[in-house]
């Protein structure tokens, strides 16, 4: 990680990785969604509505993984003072917020025919909504601190504190009675039939690659803006 502390070295690596992540993500996500819509059978209980899982599950995973990335960037900034940590955190937040919102919307659409309601204040849904608002707070705080010329330490502390919500989301279906189904996929196996499950890894990997591409694009854009601003300041003082 420290090998990427130099922005020029980071950019040399990030440029090709961004392109590869983008194209691989587009191909796999599209293949997974087409397979899920056209090649898998309807569920014996949920019927055709089960197909939304190919978007909902990756969105939920990336909504949580995004904040895990922010927490890792916060630790790197506070402990090791990594020069790109704050940039990585700021770049990750919009992508994470987007997928958290997609998770909430698709979950609501899925819940209407399955549960008979668009929304229920149960543990999993509420904690995921809290995560979305945490993202909005992080984005606002990071923007304000950057405008004041701060180092981003307050934002980093906020990122670490917000990580407390991640285990709450994960274990909410075990801790409280909830409409949301229990954990379907774990290290020990899956309760989803293989005839429905097989396209899910395609969308999981595909959307993860798209997430990575979006973060790298934002990091590169911010570094480019910083370089332009520094050049303009040098010209103004010349």
pLDDT digits (tens, 9 = 90+) for 133-166: 999 999 999 999 988 887 889 999 999 999 999 9
What confidence score (pLDDT) does residue 19 get?
96
**Cα dihedral sign for 173, 177, 181, 186?**
positive
pLDDT digits (tens, 9 = 90+) for 198-220: 999 999 999 999 999 999 999 99
Mean pLDDT throughout 19-30? 98
What confidence score (pLDDT) does residue 22 get?
98
pLDDT digits (tens, 9 = 90+) for 81-124: 888 999 999 999 999 999 999 999 999 999 888 888 888 888 88
Band (pLDDT 50/70/90 cuts) for residue 192 is confident
What confidence score (pLDDT) does residue 194 get?
87
Band (pLDDT 50/70/90 cuts) for residue 33 is very high
- Predicted TM-score of the model (pTM): 0.92
pLDDT digits (tens, 9 = 90+) for 124-134: 899 999 999 99
Quick one: what percent of the chain has pLDDT higher than 90? 63
């Amino acid at each position: 990680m420290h090998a990427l502390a130099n922005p020029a070295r980071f950019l040399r690596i990030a440029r090709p990785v961004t392109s590869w992540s983008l194209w691989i993500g587009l191909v796999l996500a599209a293949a997974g969604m087409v397979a899920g819509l056209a090649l898998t059978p309807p569920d014996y209980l949920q019927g055709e509505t089960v197909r939304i899982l190919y978007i909902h599950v990756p969105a939920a995973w990336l909504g949580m993984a995004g904040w895990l990335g922010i927490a890792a960037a916060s630790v790197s900034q506070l402990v090791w003072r990594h020069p790109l940590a704050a940039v990585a955190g700021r770049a990750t937040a919009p992508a994470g917020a987007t997928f958290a919102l997609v998770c909430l919307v698709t979950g609501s659409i899925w819940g209407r025919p399955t549960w008979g309601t668009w929304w229920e204040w149960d543990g999993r849904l509420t904690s995921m909504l809290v995560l979305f608002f945490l993202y909005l707070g992080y984005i606002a705080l990071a923007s304000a601190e950057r405008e004041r010329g701060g180092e981003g330490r307050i934002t980093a502390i906020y990122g670490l504190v917000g990580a407390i919500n991640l285990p709450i989301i994960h274990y909410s279906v075990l801790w409280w009675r909830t409409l949301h189904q229990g954990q379907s996929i774990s290290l020990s196996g899956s309760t989803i039939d293989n005839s429905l499950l097989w396209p899910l890894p395609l969308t999981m990997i595909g959307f993860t690659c798209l997430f990575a591409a979006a973060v790298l694009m934002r990091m590169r854009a911010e570094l480019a803006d910083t370089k332009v601003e520094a050049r303009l300041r040098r010209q103004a003082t010349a």
